[in-house]
Structure 1
Amino acid sequence: MSPDPDGMSIGELAAQARTTVKTVRFYSDQGLLPEAARSSGGHRRYGPDAPARLRAIRSLRSLGVPVPEIGRVLDSGDTLEAVVARQLDDLGTQLAALRWREAALRALHEAAPGQLADRLELIGAVGVPPSTSALAQYWRRLLPVRLSARLRRAIVEAAVPQPPADPTPDQVLAFARLHALATAATDHCLASHRPATAAHPDLLYDGLHEAYQLVDAARRADRAPGPGGALDCFVAAHARARGTRDTPAFRRALTVGLAEADHPVMGRYWHLAGELTTDLTLGAADSWLRAALAGSTATD
């Protein structure tokens, strides 16, 4: 049978594409399936390319591609590769949210009697998927005002742990507690555990960054806290920021000053951060260096 010069009917198109008339009508109404013409009776007629186009539409929809994006693929020059990449990104976000939600529910399910309400309030304050914006804001308020924007960005990035991609219930709780610590910090509270402001904060934090990198290398080599490049770099950073030199007397004073500046809030922050990552945290690096410093002054 030769093709109808006026095109195929909606029923014929549905039959060829192995779908329903309702489906064809829906995609037509959405503008994804243009009509070639109308019959004398006003019925929709479709051209010879319509079956292939309809199959492409249904394939994309089966993968969850939204109708507007299908239109851009078919008519606006948007590549199929770009659409697939966006779908993968969206799916990754959805899966991360589901993994977080599952771990959060397990944390609630495993709560001891009397803990459930507190855990629910704690976990419920964190978005899904969780955002680190409150932690970043905490550090921006904590760091010295005169610190350069470059170092401020680098420190915030290093100090804020990212939520694990596949968290355990304990990690959900650790992140929720970090979030609670950050959001509860008032200006008065921050002032009580803000690091002492050096005369030259960029000199201090640039040197600390280098020292922490050396600690990371030492820990990977399984070296215990002790004398060496990491400790020398750490002490030199503090000395330069104060306009003085690295001497035994300065090391003794630095040991005392750092101990006096310790605050339980920061200790808790780094303990919780350590539960979220296997990488060396700034807090763990600082503890390694303080232990090395204490050892060096004890032998003077």
Structure 2
Amino acid sequence: MRARDDDLWGIGDLAARAGVTVKTVRFYSDRGLLPEASRSAGGHRRYASDALDRLRLIRSLRTLGLSVPEVRRVLDEADATDGMGQALEGAVAERLSELGTEIRSLRWREAALRLVQESTPGERADRLQLIGGLSVPPSTAPLVRFWRGWLPPRMPRRSVDAFLEVAVPQPPDDPAPAQVLAFARLNAFTRGPCPGAAQPRPEAHRAVGARGAAVLYAGLAEAYELAGVQLWKGREPRPGEALDCFVDVYTSAYGVRDGEQFRRGLAGQLAADARIDRYWELVAEVVTEPGRRPEPTPGTAHDWLLAALAAQTGTPPTTAV
């Protein structure tokens, strides 16, 4: 209701026009977001007509999830520049990032609940324990620590980061229950005793030292990519470009020439080395959507290349560990 025959409104009139409660108007006024034009002789708040647009803007910003301090920064910038720019863009970008995390968390919780719902009574205790070991959304930190303990010490950081990018799967944003179970098992696997703990790295890799390891792992990434193409095509392990690239990686790292004797020795050494096949099996389950063909991983590519090398040299096939 108008206090006088001028352009000032009382707090109840402003609240009614904006469709909010008087308490809401008072809240924003007390926090300096909605300035009063004046006070009546009885101490009642009076607002200019432009307060209605400002109140509507405040409500819009709050509806978007912006905090009161963020709203204040947006309004201060609007008052100073007659427009909304960086403060609003920054607040919106931050809120979108927060919402993305919240949505991923909800999707993982939903998939985890469905996993428990779909489990048999005999499976539930074990699966609940596995799920309890995950953060939500899940973190890849245990997987990263696992590989940092596996990789050669003093290996260049750039090389380590490049390897981790390939070896550590990112949790899917919208997982199926089976992917939640696979990631939970992968998390438990990397937290448990490392297979071959007395020999944390393959002997074929230990022999090249830190510098040679950087060359070795970079080259293996290329060989695994070539082998991955063969896996996608459903081809059986066989000699060819992928195998030659694989062997060249080791000759370059060792500083030796390729040849039948070297290949036979390499096949035997790799077959005898510690394996972590279970890790790669779980990685494939994490990155592959249910009902789709399994995605190639460095582990499956390595197995394909090793089988191709064994077939070429007549070396007995390896046994998974």
Q: What amino acid does structure 1 have at the position aligned with 2:207?
A: A
Is 2:136 the partner of 1:128?
yes
Measure the CA separation in 2 of the matches of 1:176 and 1:242: 38
User: Once the two structures are aligned, what percentage of the paired residues are identical?
Assistant: 54
Q: Tell whether the 8 Å contact from 2:202 to 2:270 is kept in structure 1 after alignment.
A: no
Letter in 2 for 1:55: R
**Distance in 2 of aligned mates of 1:140 and 1:128:** 23
Which residue number in structure 1 is paired with residue 207 of structure 2? Answer: 198
- Give distance in 2, aligned partners of 1:285 and 1:158: 12
TM-score by length of 2: 0.84
Does residue 25 in structure 1 map to residue 23 in structure 2? no
Offset at residue 237 of structure 1 (A) = 1.1
The answer on whether the counterparts of 1:211 and 1:231 sit within 8 Å (CA) in structure 2 is yes
Which residue number in structure 1 is paired with residue 59 of structure 2?
Answer: 58
Q: What is the CA distance between 1:224 and its match in structure 2?
A: 3.5
Q: Measure, in 2, the Cα distance between the counterparts of 1:16 and 1:38.
A: 19
Q: Which amino acid aligns with 2:310?
A: A
Match of 2:49 in 1: 48
Indicate if the aligned counterparts of 2:149 and 2:200 stay in contact, CA closer than 8 A: no
The alpha carbon displacement at 1:23 in A equals 1.2
**Is the 1:9–1:43 contact (alpha carbons within 8 Å) kept by the matching residues of 2?**
yes
Query: In structure 2, what is the equivalent of residue 275 of structure 1?
Result: 285
Residue 46 of structure 2: SS of its match in structure 1?
strand
Deviations 1:226-279 (A, max 9, x none): 22221111111112222322111111111111111143xx11100000101144
1:248 and 1:201 mapped to 2: Cα distance?
Answer: 23
Quote the residue 1:285 is aligned against: 301
Q: Counterparts of 1:210-289 in structure 2 under 5 Å?
A: 210-263=222-275, 266-278=276-288, 279-289=295-305
Q: Which moved more, 1:128-137 or 1:198-207?
A: 198-207
Residue 168 of structure 1: which of 176, 188, 209 is its match? 176
Task: Quote the residue 2:108 is aligned against.
Answer: 100
2:216 counterpart of 1:208:
no
Partner of 1:57: helix, strand, or coil? Answer: helix
Return the offset for 1:184.
2.1
Q: Deviations over 1:24-43 (max 9, x none)?
A: 11222233212222222222
The runs of 5 or more residues in structure 2 that have no matched partner are 78-84, 289-294, 316-321
- The more displaced of 209-218 and 11-20 is 209-218
Shift of 1:152: 0.4
What is the SS of the residue equivalent to 1:256?
helix
Aligned counterparts of 2:134 and 2:160: Cα–Cα separation in 1: 25
Deviations along 1:61-100, whole A, 9 cap, x unmatched?
Answer: 2232222222222213644344333332222211111110
**1:3 CA drift (Å):** 7.4
Q: Which stretch shows the higher mean deviation, 57-66 or 118-127?
A: 57-66
Could you tell me which runs of 5 or more consecutive residues in structure 1 were left unpaired when the two chains were aligned. Answer: none
Aligned runs of 1:79-118 on 2, under 5 Å? 79-118=87-126
How has the CA–CA distance of structure 1 residues 28 and 244 changed in structure 2, closer, same or farther, with 3 Å as cutoff?
A: same
> Secondary structure of 1:145's match?
coil
Query: What RMSD, in angstroms, separates the aligned Cα atoms of the two structures?
Result: 2.3
Tell me the number of residue pairs that the alignment of Structure 1 and Structure 2 aligns. Answer: 296
Distance 1:55 1:289, change over 3 A: same
